[in-house]
Structure formats: C-alpha cells, structure tokens
Chain A
Amino acid sequence: MAASIFAAVPCAPPVAVFKLTADFREDGDSRKVNLGVGAYRTDEGQPWVLPVVKKVEQMIANDNSLNHEYLPILGLPEFRANASRIALGDDSPAIKEKRVGSVQSLGGTGALRIGAEFLRRWYNGNNNTATPVYVSAPSWENHNSVFMDAGFKDIRTYHYWNAAKRGLDLQGLLNDMENAPEFSIFILHACAHNPTGTDPTPEQWKQIAAVMKRRCLFPFFDSAYQGFASGSLDKDAWAVRYFVSEGFELFCAQSFSKNFGLYNERVGNLTVVGKDADNVQRVLSQMEKIVRTTWSNPPSQGARIVATTLSSPELFNEWYGNVKTMADRVLLMRSELRSRLEALGTPGTWNHITEQIGMFSFTGLNPKQVEYMIKEKHIYLMASGRINMCGLTTKNLDYVAKSIHEAVTKIQ
C-alpha cells in the first residue's frame, strides 16, 4: 500500500492553557490549585451555572412552541439586537441612527474570526492581506491565530505591558500608533485586558482615540468581560462607547461566555458600527456570505437564553445581580491576596493585584518561579505569570500567598 498522504503531518503542540488544566487534573496532590484556564469558579472551587440561566433554561424547556429549526444565517434577531444594545448602551445614538449591525457568532472567537475574514476581504482595498494588524504585547494568544488564519500576512505587536513598572506602557502604545501605517487594524481589549488585567483609564483611552482618529487606524474591540470586570455594564463598555461617540466606524467582538457563564454554548456577537445604515447593510450582506461557508447559521440554545434574559426587565436585573456576584468575588480575592502578600512581607510591590481588573492578574512571577509554583507547590499558572483570580478561594488563599512568597524569595 502506498504511503499515507498524512504520513508527513507533524504533531502540533498542545494549546498551553489546556495542557495546564490536563496536567492539573492528573496531579494527585491534595493541595493542588488551578489558576490557569479562564473560567469563573465559586468559593468552593466549582463551576457556576448562573441562577438566572437555570431559570431561563427551564422556561425554554417548558415552552412547547419552541423547536430546533435553523436560525437565520446572521442569528437570532432578538439576541443580536439585545447583544449590541448591551455593548453600545440603551441610548446609543448609533443604534438610534440605525447604523449598527450584529452577527451572532460562535463565542467571542467566532465573532473575531468573522470580523477578521470580512476585513481581509473588504478593508483597505479588496483582499488586502498586507494591511498590518496590531495585537497588544502581550495578548490572548489566539488573537494572532485568528487574524493569521483569516489571511493577514503582517501581524505586529504594539507596546502594552510595562513589566518593570507593572502597568500600562502608554507612551510605547501611543508611539506605536503614531508610527503605524495608515489604516492599520488595532485589536483593543474593551476592558479587563487578557492577560495583564491592566486597562487604560478613560483619560488614556481619549488619548488613544485621538491618535487613532488622526492616523486613520481601525479599532477592533474584543469585549469578553463586560460586566464581569467592574460589576457595571456601562463602566466596562465605556471605551467602546467613547469611540462610537467620536465617530469611529468599528467592530466589537462580544463574548457571553464569562458574563453569562455560557462557555460551552458558544454565544457571541459581532457588533458593527458604520457611518450610516446603507453601509452597515452592505457590510452585513457580505458577512452573511462569510458565515455561510464557516458554520451556515449559529447554534440556538445559548442565544435564546441570552435574548430571553436581556429582553425581560426582571430577568435582566436578576442577571445583573449574578454578574455582580461574580465580579465582587473576584474583587474580594484580589484584595485578600494582596493583603496576605503584604502581611508576609513578600519582596516587591503588590498593589497591582488590586489595581488590575477582571479575571486575570499578571503577578510578575518569572518562568522559573512559575515552574517552582507548579512542580513544588502544585499551583498551576501560565508561564507568563498570569493567574486566574477565580481559582482562588477562601480555603486556598493562605496556601497560594505563602507559595508565592516562597517562590519570590527562593527563586530569582
């Protein structure tokens, strides 16, 4: 028999964050803590299906008028409208002016991919794969892959994280924008930057917007934590809304994985803001073609849950309360971890733990210290020093704080 056509297919390396969880699962040590993958956990260290989600799922299950028919290509209309409204605000002028479009997508990733595929085909000329795409240094590692697989050839980084001062490198960021070729695409984290947890302040966002406007740069927002970051939907959407008010045309990839806890239902939305309704309509018609060859039409379950929740004032309030519960627990863990490290006298400064926002914190631990944490203390975190605050509980805070203290003092 002839050699297989796949004989030369190399084994791809596993995705790091999932490998981490796999290793954690196999670890038999009773003290083990998983501070890796980005999913919310309760104080008992368990996944949390939001009470409002349980309620709405029951409603859906009891509704005999519902079936499993195909959704339209662009998704469930009630979901799309509500999702974009959440991002842009109830009184968004863009929505009033009917220059907002929405594409229901498979999670935030799917929304990013549809947006990227569209931009590669239609932005800055036709099929211009040379348009530079800027991703923050560091960023969620999948950003690179999404734009690369969408066909972009020139993916660059922009300065973002200043390791020395453990904060935003605003000057570096602005310089990169000044020097970026006109029309470059910039992927901006709307809030709760992954992995650093460090966001620009409103004043800093204003500076960013001013440069982007002057240099004709395209803002592509990634909004995966609206509500989850600060506990306030409006606050977490401030940057996106500011850009809209400044007259930008932009994309915003939204994920409802974290703020609705609907991870495996793949609920996302690509919000498109254009100059006018006619432009948006044509854009959506082309996005429809892209969707059709990628997944034809999106899954209905998760969209139904979100649409039902967002369109009922009662359920919306209940959801808001659930979101606040999650955000508050994360904030509590931040302050508890910081106070323990300071009480232990752990070398270095630890205010960044409470100044950072969202699920993640860039601890500042170096790869050797991270290795110590994993191998010696059975505490699993990313090589970058990123920890998921949701992995902390009142039961493991002391152990984690002591372990960080050991790592920092023993390993340089």
Chain B
Amino acid sequence: SSWWSHVEMGPPDPILGVTEAYKRDTNSKKMNLGVGAYRDDNGKPYVLNCVRKAEAMIASKKMDKEYLPIGGLADFTRASAELALGENSEAFKSGRYVTVQGISGTGSLRIGANFLQRFFKASRDVYLPKPSWGNHTPIFRDAGMQLQAYRYYDPKTCSLDFSGAMDDISKIPEKSIILLHACAHNPTGVDPRQEQWKELAATVKKRNLLVYFDMAYQGFASGDINRDAWAVRYFIEQGINIVLSQSFAKNMGLYGERAGAFTVICSDAEEAKRVESQLKILIRPMYSNPPVNGARIASMILNTPDLRKEWLTEVKGMADRIISMRTQLVSNLKKEGSSHNWQHITDQIGMFCFTGLKPEQVERLIKEFSVYMTKDGRISVAGVTSGNVGYLAHAIHQVTK
C-alpha cells in the first residue's frame, strides 16, 4: 500500500476552473474575464517595450549566473523601496527601512507573514478586508497566523462600506495586524478616497495596529505611480511604521519572472539591520536566494532614466486602456437600454471589477453567452477589448433586465 492512501484530493482552484471551462468552449464569441493578467486591445498578453529593451541591455552585458545574496539584488531592492516610498521620503533617505527581494507578491507576503509570526509576539491576528484576495487567508494561515476580518465592501452600493470599516477597525484589539490594499483593491476595485485614508490612518494609529500594506498595482491603478502609492506614503508620514509587500507582476508585466519585494519600515537604520538579518534566516530555508531575471529587468528599468520614463508611459497606457474599457462598458450598457446604475464600474479602479451580478446571473452569462467570470461576479477588465465590450454589455443586459 502507499504512504499517501489517506491524502485527499485538493479542491480545484475556482479561478483556474473558469479558465479550464473557457478553453473547452467552442463559441467564437467567448470571453475569459477570469484572467488576472493584463491583455492588450487584441486580447493578447503584452510584453512592455521597456522590458524588451531592458532584456537586450542585460543580454549585452553578458553577466554571470552567480547566486544573488539571500536578500536579493541590491539595485533592485533599493529601487523598489524608492518607488514605493518616494525619493523624498524621510524613511527612505535615512535608511530606516529594509527591503528584501521576494518571489513576486505572494513570496513577499509570505516572508512578511513568517517574520510577523516569529517576531511579532503581541498578536497572532491578521485582519483582512471583506472580501480580500483569496490567497491572503491561506498564506497567513500557513505562516501560523489567525485570520479575522473587517467590513469593507458594501454589496448594496458596490462601493466602500466606509462607516462599517471604521466601526470594525476602531474595535480591533490593540497591536493586532491589519492588512490594507494600497490601491486597486482585489477583488472589488473599490479604494478609499484620500480623505477616507486619512481617517483610516488616524484610527489605526489610535488602535496601535501593525499595518501591512499589499501593493500589487502601483502605477497600474490610476496610471500614476505617486498617486497609487499615496496611502502608503501618507501612513509612513503619520509615523506609522508599516510593512509592505510589492509586486512587479502587473505594472511591469513580469508575471512569470516573479519580481517582488518585502519592506519593513523601522525606527532607525540599526534596527533595520537586525530585522534584515532575521529575514535572511527565514528566506534561506525556503529557497536560499531569489531568482535574478525579473529583478534584473525591473532594476534596469527603474535605474535607467530613459527606460524608467518609458515604463511610466507604458504603465499609464495599460491603466488608461482599463479605464477606457470601464467607460465603454457603462456607455454600452446604457445603449443597450439598461436601467440599472452601473456607476460602480467606472468608480472602481484597477484590473478587477465587482459587477454586482448574482451567481444565477453569472451562470447564465457563462452558459448562454460564453462569458466566463468567477461566481462572485468579479470580472477582469483586462479581458475586455474594444472588439468585445459591446458583446459583453449586451450579455450583461440580457441577464439583468
């Protein structure tokens, strides 16, 4: 007999299931709105020009393949920190931070989760917004933390339940950990306004909470990297020493290269050194040291003025296309004659949109129109093109009229 007879079959991934079903569908009009990766207006993956240029530059340098340090490529981690914090950030200039390279967003989140499990003795509780990215819960759980929630999304208005969030957050036990999406909340696309961020910051400060920011869409949300990092920078300016996970999967299109970073804002540079030493102790038994390719590309882009400029233009281009698809979807719905209020589609931001569609309506969209999305009514706006936005509006109208 086998050692593994009692091993249960793991549940199928709900999002992958969507893509699998989409692939099997023979309808020529089919749309995959489950995909969490950017697509151009032809529905194709998009390799940024600045990425191609960076790759060519890297190839010409004929570098070796020696191990990176455990904490990753220094030029990359420094540039990542500067991108998030801003070049004028006191925390950045004083060096009272540590940034280690992580395996994109997931790996960075996991390093942080493990670090908190080991060194943040005040609490085991991590408060997530309701809803949050599906993988947040198992990441923190596997790291040995406990999950709690605070109200966030209001399904009645398809927007932020700000009073509910403030109410819940003001009651979170002191010294708990709260996770906040820096911009382009996944899966709802609903972000607080700046005045709301200010109130949130005051409350978490009052409750003495440890703030964990997840920033996977800097630049990709509004098209402006400074605007998208506003909340992160504001919190730090308010004296809140945050921890932060960054991903370059979406904003540089480096998905499979796994470029990411985990940052801890510390009291001073000396503390940062101690924290760094412990992060390395966590990383070494996980994968020893990080992969170079994505980090080199990102570093080349961030540190080469021409490439950086080109990147900012391209990331704005991606964000603009998404925003334009939102606008076109709403205007097409109006043209179809829909009487519903679809304002949330343009109010929401980033790759995803919580349409407000109910499971039965989603099922009809899949079965009758071959429009694939997750049961919660979330669509990836990246999967919408000027060629299919009309069809999408038509389909949505049919199931909601």
- Residues of chain A touching chain B, judged by Cβ–Cβ distance below 8 Å, are 1-2, 4-15, 18, 37, 39, 46-47, 49, 53, 57-58, 61, 67-71, 73, 105-107, 109-110, 113, 122-124, 126, 142, 145-146, 148-149, 218, 249, 257, 261-266, 274-276, 279-283, 285-286, 288-290, 292-302
Contact = CB atoms under 8 A, between A and B. Distances in A.
A149 to B, nearest CB: 4
A18 B107 contact: no
Contacts of B8: 282, 286
25 contacts: A5-B120, A9-B278, A12-B277, A13-B277, A15-B280, A49-B65, A67-B45, A68-B47, A68-B256, A70-B249, A106-B288, A109-B286, A110-B287, A122-B4, A266-B290, A279-B7, A282-B4, A282-B7, A282-B8, A282-B10, A293-B142, A294-B106, A295-B258, A296-B106, A298-B258
Contacts of B284: 15, 109, 142, 145
A285 B274 contact: no
Contacts, number: 221
B5 A279 contact: yes
Contacts of B254: 68
Contact of B258 (A8, A58, A299): A299
Contact of A5 (B65, B210, B239): B210
Contact of A15 (B10, B70, B253): B70
B144 to A, nearest CB: 9
B204 interface: no
Contacts of B210: 5
Interface string B78-113: 000000000000000000000000011111001000
A249 B119 contact: no
B246 interface: no
A117 to B, nearest CB: 8
Contacts of A1: 239
Contacts of A46: 64
B281 A12 contact: yes
Given A69-B45, A106-B103, A296 B135 contact: yes
B4 A300 contact: no
Interface of B: 1-10, 13, 37, 45, 47, 51, 55-56, 59, 62, 64-70, 103-107, 110, 119-120, 122, 135, 138-139, 141-143, 175, 208, 210, 239, 241, 249, 253-258, 264, 266-267, 271, 273-275, 277-278, 280-282, 284-294
B66 A6 contact: no
A293 B110 contact: yes
- Which of A69, A122, A261 is packed against the most chain B CB atoms within 10 Å? A69
A295 B4 contact: no
A326 to B, nearest CB: 13
A235 to B, nearest CB: 25
Contacts of A14: 277
A373 B67 CA distance: 25
B280 A113 contact: no
B4 A274 contact: yes
Given A4-B267, A279-B4, A300 B257 contact: yes
A61 B55 contact: yes
A209 to B, nearest CB: 16
A1 B266 CA distance: 13
Contacts of B56: 61
Nearest to B239: A1
A123 B4 CA distance: 7
B280 A286 contact: no
A112 to B, nearest CB: 8
Given A11-B277, A274-B2, A275-B2, A264 B59 contact: no
B10 A288 contact: yes
Q: 6 shortest A-B CB distances, which residue pairs?
A: A106-B287, A285-B10, A145-B285, A296-B106, A300-B256, A275-B2
A6 B119 contact: yes
Given A69-B255, A266-B291, 20 more contacts: A6-B119, A46-B64, A47-B64, A61-B55, A107-B287, A264-B68, A274-B3, A279-B2, A282-B7, A286-B8, A293-B141, A294-B110, A294-B286, A295-B107, A296-B105, A298-B258, A299-B103, A299-B291, A299-B294, A301-B291
